Structure 1
Amino acid sequence: MEAEPIDNTGVTQLEKPVFAQPHPTPAPAKFEIKHPSDNPAYKKIDELNREHKIAPLPFPAPRGLPEPKLTLAAVLDTDAGTLNKKIETHGQLVFHAAGDTGSTRGPESQNLVSDKMVNDFTDEEKEQPLFLFHLGDVIYSFGEAQYYYDQFYEPYRDYPAPILALAGNHDGMVAPGTSATSLAAFLENFCAETFEVTSEAGGLARTAQIQPGVFFTFEAPLIRILALYSNTLEDPGVIASPTIGTSQLTYLETALNRVKSDKFDGALILAHHHPAYTAGGKHGWSQEMLSQIDEICSKTGVVMQDLREWLVRVSRKDRARRLSWQFQILSESWNEAFSAASRRGKFDCACCAFRRRRGKVANDILGNVVLAGPRPGSPCLMPQRRSVLAPITTSI
């Protein structure tokens, strides 16, 4: 009699979580599934965005609204009292944080980082990391299930602790011309309801994480992390809109009110993939998201550390000191643009080139620091302040 076929495509339920392989294993030299170029897909996305202005994508409601919660004790499946007492006695909690780890070219670069993280568990430090909190973009480029083994499970095969994750834009994006569901693979591998090994693990031991959804409060002794989902656009991050609703704003208000009512005095971290505020780099500000967060913080009376306000306070006390920090970051881009514009005699181009390099923050720096005037509203700042233009120096 012919044997019945074995189904290895489903999940395997376990009673307790498993994190690493029983014994260390060698790093792979190549991916199991070769990742083709995504350039044609990105080109199509750019075309769609120009024609239709792509909107954020809806997502399933997390379990446990209005404030979905997850504790470190639940993740470890251990007694909360014993765990909390141990950490509070030591007065320290150590954890890893990383983001944008997915690689499409091969395993080497990602393994260099993950292997070093594993080494932290064998160092002579008294306190070892208790978990990794991933800041999004676990899988490139469209969060596809078939790449979870190569880009997530295999690199962390020997990481002996839980891994929690924000969903980044690439984890929720859907490739043009496909019928995939946004976030489907992320939810299966990070938002399971029970300890289970998914088919994406490819036979490795790590169980899926049990997060309640794409936004939630993660609680551990000495720390609370309020995790938000800033959706699928390349820029900006979006946590509330007519398309996706305001459930995350309700969650954030509920969570911050509980911080006050609990008189929580540990570290409070607000985590999201897209930067709400940035002083440079490839991505610009997410200004509407920042305003929404600020409004709820003001409403609840919870003050988060605000770099912008810190810079303002410093500038009022010491004009020279306020220049040095911004200049160190931005002078190279500005001087390059200024030099090129000087050669052409077109100073308007210097402003525009600078803003292209440094994003929306350049508008603030040019308006409030370089030009020492009010924030201009015109598309190009130079016609208003041409007389005070000069290359930036950092010898302040």
Structure 2
Amino acid sequence: MTFGLFEELARKAMFTLDPETAHGVTIRALTAMPRRTPPPNDARLAVSAFGLDFPNPVGLAAGFDKNAEVPDAMLGYGFGFVEVGTITPKPQPGNPKPRIFRLPHDRAVINRLGFNNAGHAAARARLLARARDVAGARGLVGVNIGANKDATDRAADYVAGVQAFADVASYFTVNISSPNTPGLRDLQHEAALDDLLGRVLETRDAIAARGKTRRPVLLKIAPDLSLDELDGIVAVCRRRGIDGMIISNTTIARPEALRDRDVAREQGGLSGMPLLGPSTRMLANAWLRVERAFPLIGVGGVDSADSALAKIRAGAALVQLYTGMIYKGPHVATAINRGLADRLGRSGETLAAQVGTDAADVARETA
């Protein structure tokens, strides 16, 4: 039996387990595995964005490695970058179980985890050990920061995240768009967002002024915004000089076309293939408003070279995925990169030349 076949059988076996149990087993198995050498990258897929050099455009989204336990294991599977978290200052258990639900006919997942994580100290210790390991700290690892559910000053929790990880994060993602922490999405309102980003960026810049590396700060938004709300968010981001945006988080909408209707009744954020259209339309609308002031990362429904290219043509410089890996396995990143390289080889165009080419057409599809 080849190792690849063993991995595929193991992935299918995971589907016989409760989703959260399967996730825990996967993390423990990855922790125990020897370090993998990442597959070679095609130079045509390299991307420069946010002042960072990405070996390929396919990243692992936050949510899989919540506590920074296996970033290098995932880089070994061909991801160009890995985002850990969401991490809050204090440990918190999240919402009651069960809180993850598969929709296999829709290649989708609903989760209402609620930022369950072990807190800043535990994740920082792992990332600090990684940074001291010259052989290990070669890939880009972003840190997705959030606020504790019981925080009285949520902006202060994000500031604490920047302070905790400034010396070990390749970049920061300010996550204010999870639907599973009550009131969190209110931080997307223009005045609240302006205050939040002002405090976060001031903290980042103060740390950089002391001789530390200036870490890029990205904002992750929801796909459920109105275009007026998006206008306000982009205006704040441009005014504050943020480094980029990630579009998008999970959706609270339930498309009529969902086949797993019983599961679809569960509360939480929906991810996977049903999110591809809505998130890509939001991405295209954002790209038109940003006017190249900063790069965008496209997330939602990515599981193939075609869906990745759709994101890129809608305005994404980079893409991320998580649910696609649940259904296709960890080698999905390598498969996407090969597919992208093949398409570039046939067209003779660069990846950068594809960014935003379909944005106007995709944006017109917005209901």
Q: Same fold (TM over 0.5)?
A: no
Q: Which structure has the larger Rg over C-alpha atoms?
A: 1
TM-score (norm 1): 0.31
More strand by share: 2
TM-score (norm 2): 0.33
